Amino acid sequence: MKVRFEVNGSSVEADVAPRTTLCDCLRHHLGLTGTHAGCEHGVCGACTVTVDGMIARACLTLAVQIEGGDIRTVEGLAPAPGRLSILQEAFKRHHALQCGFCTAGILMSLDHFLRERPKPTEAEIRDLLSGHLCRCTGYTPIIRAALDAADLLANRRRAEKTDA
Amino acid sequence: MKLSPVDYEAPGTVAEALDLLAEHQDEASVLAGGQSLIPLLALRLAQPAVLIDINGVAELYGVSAADGWVTVGAMTREYVAEESETVADAVPLLAAALPLIGHEAIRNRGTVGGSLAHADPAAEMPGIAAACDARIEIVGRTGTRKVGAQDFFLGPLTTCLAHDELITAIHFPPWPSARRWAFEEFSQRRGDFAFAGIALYYDERPDGIIENAHVGVIGATHIPRRLGAVEDTLNGRKFVDTVLALAAKTASSSVEPDDDIHASAAYRRALVGTLVERSLIAAANRGRAS
């Protein structure tokens, strides 16, 4: 079946079998291997993307259901080639990843979350991270990175307001 | 694992969905939010020949209220119900349970009707339906019927839905504003299936006598259901410590949990008692100056 949708602002088309998950469609049909297939049954959170502006598990959605949809993946986070987003920079600074397998999903959840909750508490971030499994970091550096990124994003917003 | 090969149909109306169900019968699975079904398919615990995707059936979406009853369309996403002011005002017990379903990414796609059809006795939606005596509206080719939650759930992952029927909505009965209620569950991590949970409410006469107690349980029975024996210990009594202790003890002996890798049956029994006690205290204190 042919399916057409937007990924990170570009129109794409893929010819998929109905059983193809959005996760496999992104990885195998579109070559967007930043989205990771972990448990493939909705538990680990590694494949988290946004669908029409809301976070979702790409392994629990069929590609054929995404017709006309607007998908954002980890490939869409960096502002330009060779640059990282504020959140990604914070992950790097705080060693919030080791093997990196879970990172794409966590970045997608946090990126979305920090837009909605610009002043998160540690408890809120812990709540959010409960939807993601990380077997390397023990989560603490991820929480530090998220709080740091939230501060930097808040400062940037303040600076933008002053400029305007 | 990957899903087995499967055909895919996407009807645009309930009538079209029913035609497809009649055609494929037990070879078909209805795909709503997919947050329970797709894991079953990925683990190959289910291998239907065809998926009937009802996401495009507009008439199955939405929350509405009439004559005190609140109706939630089967395809209403859990996050929509969670954010609904109608639900918050008119079925506060449901509003309290919805944020505890899985994680945000799950609730963004998971649906109210899908959770009922999946009928996991550890899940919040079926437990709330049972506690509230909600009525589940089912449509088949011969017409519609409304089934009380106590008759809808037949066993773990088993309901009274026939192969050619579809859930269209769930109806919650009127809710007096002074009603006392609480939902308490215990899970090891936020978002996990709870070891057990208690959804309860009661009305209080001006003299403090409890009446119309409803106590529903999740995670400790094979069918999401009310605990009549616990309700009997509450109805006609005042809220005092001895009643609390009796209700908790009765609850522990009213459930039939299994041992599993997460918790022993004995632990779950004890937990059910504790949760009854906690939720009764929470219900009694809600809205009162402490």
B70/B154 same-domain check? yes
H-helix segments, B25-182: 37-42, 78-83, 85-90, 92-97, 104-107, 112-118, 124-131, 149-152
Backbone angles phi, psi at B118, to 5 degrees: -70, -35
Supply the CATH number for residue B36's domain.
Answer: 3.30.43.10
Alpha-carbon gap, residue B165 to B144, rounded angstroms: 9
> With contacts defined as CB-CB under 8 Å, which chain B residues touch A57?
35, 105-106, 109
What is the CA angle B192-B196-B198, rounded to 5?
A: 120
Residues B66 and B159 in one domain: yes
Instruction: Supply the pLDDT for residue B23.
Output: 98
Q: Give a yes or no: residue B33 inside a domain.
A: yes
pLDDT category at B290 given cuts 50, 70, 90 is: very low
Residues B157/B134, Cβ–Cβ less than 8 Å? no
Please state, in angstroms and rounded to a whole number, the distance separating the CA atoms of residues B254 and B256.
7
Check if the beta carbon of residue B105 is closer than 8 Å to that of residue B118. no
| Residue B139 structure tokens | 């449509």
pLDDT at B1: 85
Q: CB within 8 A of B215, min separation 6: which ones?
A: B131, B198, B199, B200, B226, B227, B230, B231, B234, B247, B251, B276
Annotate B230-279 with three-state secondary structure. Answer: HHHHHCCCECCHHHHHHHHHHHHHHCCCCCCCCCCHHHHHHHHHHHHHHH
Average pLDDT, chain B: 96
> Looking at residues B199-227, what average pLDDT do you find?
96
Residue of A60, A72, A107 to mutate, interface with B, max B Cβ within 10 Å: A60
pLDDT attached to residue B272: 98
Q: Which residue has the higher pLDDT, A60 or B290?
A: A60
Per-residue pLDDT of B17-56, as tens digits, reads: 999 999 999 999 999 999 999 999 999 999 999 999 999 9
Segments in chain A below pLDDT 50: none
Tell which phi-psi region holds residue A89, choosing left (phi > 0), alpha (psi between -120 and 50) or beta: alpha
Does residue B84 share a domain with residue B45? no
Determine the longest span between alpha carbons in chain B, in angstroms. Answer: 63
User: Please, what are the domains in chain A?
Assistant: 2-76 (3.10.20.30), 86-163 (1.10.150.120)
Mean pLDDT of B222-239: 96
Percent of chain B with pLDDT over 90: 93
Do B139 and B156 belong together in one domain? yes
Model confidence at B287, in pLDDT bands (50, 70, 90)? low
How many Cβ atoms sit within 10 Å of the Cβ of residue B249? 15
For tokens 């990604």, name the residue: A88
Are the CB atoms for B273 and B184 separated by under 8 Å?
A: no
Whether A45 and B103 lie within 8 Å, measured CB to CB = yes
User: Do both B276 and B251 map to the same domain?
Assistant: yes
> Looking at this predicted complex, what is its ipTM?
0.94
Do B158 and B219 lie in a common domain? no
The closest alpha carbon to B156, from B109, B101, B218, B78, belongs to B218
Q: Supply the CATH number for residue B248's domain.
A: 3.30.390.50
Other CB atoms within a 10 A radius of the CB of residue B99 amount to: 16
Indicate if B81 and B160 belong to the same structural domain. Answer: yes
Instruction: Look up residue A75 and give its DSSP letter.
Output: G
> What's the pLDDT score for residue B239?
86
pLDDT band at B288 (very low <50, low <70, confident <90, very high): low
Half-sphere exposure of A127 (CA within 13 A, CB side): 14
Residues spanned by the domain of B209: 180-285
Q: Does B261 touch chain A (CB under 8 A)?
A: no
Task: Give B136-187 pLDDT, tens digit per residue.
Answer: 999 998 999 999 999 999 999 999 999 999 999 999 999 999 999 999 999 9
In a domain, B48, yes or no: yes
- H/E element, B19: helix B14-24
The whole-number pLDDT of residue A1 equals 95
DSSP string covering A91-126, please? HHHTT--SS-TTHHHHHHHHHHHHHH-SS--HHHHH
Query: B190 contacts in A (CB within 8 Å)?
Result: 126-127, 130
- Structurally, chain B folds into a number of domains equal to 3
Share of chain B above pLDDT 70, in %: 99
pLDDT digits (tens, 9 = 90+) for B51-64: 999 999 999 999 99
What CATH number is associated with residue B152? 3.30.465.10
List, in sequence order, every residue forming a beta bridge with A10; answer none if it has no partner.
A7
Asked whether residue B2 is assigned to any structural domain, the reply reads: no
Same domain, B68 and B166: yes
Among B152, B172, B192, which residue terminates a domain?
B172
Identify whether residues B186 and B207 lie together within a single domain. Answer: yes
| B157 reaches A (C-beta below 8 A) | no
Question: Which of B35, B104, B192 is nearest residue A55 as measured by Cβ atoms?
Answer: B104
Q: How far is A111 from chain B (nearest CA, A)?
A: 13
CB A62 within 8 A of CB B41: no
Q: Name the residue among B3, B53, B189 with its Cβ closest to that of A19.
A: B3
- Cβ of B105 within 8 Å of Cβ of A56? The answer is yes
Of B134, B153, B172, which residue sits at a domain end? B172
Taking the C-alpha atoms of residue B84 and residue A6, their distance in angstroms, rounded to an integer, is: 29
Q: How far apart are CA B251 and CA B249, in angstroms?
A: 5
Together in a domain, B205 and B242 = yes
Pairing type for strands A48-51 and A54-57 reads: antiparallel
Which residue, B144, B172, B200, sits at the end of a domain? Answer: B172
Interface of B with A in 173-232 (CB under 8 A): 189-192
Whether residue B290 lies inside any domain: the answer is no
Same domain? For B218 and B236 the reply is yes
Q: Is B256 inside any structural domain?
A: yes
Closest partner CB to B43 (pick from A41, A57, A130): A41
B237 domain residue, yes or no: yes
CA distances from B30 to B18, B34, B119 (A): 10, 9, 14
Whole-model pTM over 0.80: yes
Map tokens 């029994």 to a residue.
Answer: B269
B192 and B92 in a single domain? The answer is no
B106 vs A: CB within 8 A: yes
